[in-house]
Chain A
């Protein structure tokens, strides 16, 4: 309970810190939001009026509190280029990116855990060697290039899916999921390789520890030692890695969305960056930050469940 309270406090502190940093970053950039909204032809009087209206002449701290309060209420500001609320712009894109991330996370867990355990059990065998080499290569393939290769092989040559044939989840949930399969595979592939490798190393390292010897000395068989004693210990570093991988995948999905032409958060982020549409960029960054920090918070809680040695630092 104390652990939970402490972690929750840390979670909130980090959220505040990050939101302030993001706010600060966008507050100090050259260029005046009022001018940006009205365009360069606007009269100085109108710009000044808008500045007053937006509260731009208030001190930084006041502006931050107002901005944060708006944010909590779900008001993310207004887009410079489209003049519509940011909430509206990113609201229906968020589920797309989230689904993509969750789907690739599931792929990672379902593929790499059995693979890693198999490798460790047959350490030194033929299968192990093949997987180790394949891992090393797959790890080096960036997500967008494996996306391009998947498009070429499964889309253009085998015709298993239509490149660019994205179906919105509002139209057909299942076809939406079907289209997302290859993109999430592209995101997941390097992470699958890394997780497999990490689990293999971790299991092998644990196997050398004293408590494994104790377990054998009580008459346990190899399988019992592996599943009842080693696995829980070996999963601890894997969990940490998966937490970090999850945050990485949010970024990875932004690129892979581009490869497969999926209208998710990444698409808006990119157009907003090139249009210098700061409220949108700011909102998306804060959303992703929120997601990332929440994931880390959950991983920390999960950690406590698996490893009793964890105490508050």
Chain B
């Protein structure tokens, strides 16, 4: 099903050529003179009243935003978060690539050791949401799929310290981010040219 089929039939002449390439003949209805029914206008008035009465009982378009979830596409770049593995370990290895690539210098990592001698883990991971521009470069730079752009858009606070997000604020179970991970993988496959 193409986008063309989703457009109501009455609006299709305005779209231009069909997917098959044949242009739709546009028939312009031009009436210079009204007939007596239209001049009296009573019938048209009652038609209009009937229309608005019907519309009154149609479902609403409005989404009651803070209460009602707003459907979001995985391409939405919201607040950056850190993925947490199902076993509770943090994916981030404190390599510092995101910190380095961040154009707004919003990220500050405090790296720390783990019991595994070759593994590191952040002791603290700070993102200053007053600086973050939601560009998503940290996500692109990350080799571990650890920092990801979530779909959370409500980032306003009433105090400056609250805008500095620490490690515990940023950790999100990886299952919740799976859609975004799949999306980014798909996009990287599309953008990255084969290396030759």
Our verdict on whether A and B bind, yes or no, reads: no
